[in-house]
Chain A
Amino acid sequence: GDSVTQMEGPVTLSEEAFLTINCTYTATGYPSLFWYVQYPGEGLQLLLKATKADDKGSNKGFEATYRKETTSFHLEKGSVQVSDSAVYFCALSDLSGYQKVTFGTGTKLQVIP
């Protein structure tokens, strides 16, 4: 079945550091790929998405490119802020009628001043 693997955390960075959170996936067909963010005590928010190979999703300074050849969707940000501290989930959605979403285990990011 479909699966998502992302790097284990927690990741601790200083403010303004460069962020990379690795994500790879296995899926049949060509899924859509997502990054969700969960701030402490809150639900999930869609951060960005890409629906086909070589698409780049971007939002709030975060970027991720759908790499079909390496089955990856790594999340990057050039300069993190304290307010970016959260748990980040990589996910994929199949293209069946139900569009079930499969999540990675989440990576906790802590940004210190």
Chain B
Amino acid sequence: GAVVSQHPSWVICKSGTSVKIECRSLDFQATTMFWYRQFPKKSLMLMATSNEGSKATYEQGVEKDKFLINHASLTLSTLTVTSAHPEDSSFYICSARDAMQETQYFGPGTRLLVL
């Protein structure tokens, strides 16, 4: 099946720094990518939807200036957590929608720990 990768798989950073997470579709073109956040023992919360070449659409309650999303190509989207704080510690998962299919493929996730 289709493969979506995320990098890094885990990151530890100091409070106040910015962290960039990459999401790549490896064997298909993804016009739409999604970013989710998963809290411990909870479901996934959609943060934003990004379309290649346009601004991301953020869900209610998600700060767009804090979680910067860039979808620069059909195979790459990035999420930057700016001025990270301990409450931003979470598991971030991206997904990519194959333009030819109706299925989203999920990345393996990135675990962020802000000290």
Contact = CB atoms under 8 A, between A and B. Distances in A.
A100 B49 CA distance: 8
Interface in A18-73: 32, 36, 42-46, 49, 51
Contacts of A49: 103
A43 B6 CA distance: 10
Contact of B108 (A43, A93, A102): A43
Contacts of A104: 43
A99 interface: yes
A105 interface: yes
A43 B93 contact: yes
Interface majority SS on B: helix, strand, loop or mixed?
Answer: strand
Interface majority SS on A: helix, strand, loop or mixed?
Answer: strand
Given A43-B108, A46-B103, A98-B49, A89 B34 contact: no
B43 A44 contact: no
B46 A101 contact: yes
10 contacts: A42-B108, A45-B106, A46-B106, A98-B32, A98-B49, A99-B97, A100-B49, A102-B46, A103-B43, A106-B42
Interface of B: 1, 6, 32, 34, 42-44, 46, 49, 51, 57, 93, 95, 97, 102-109
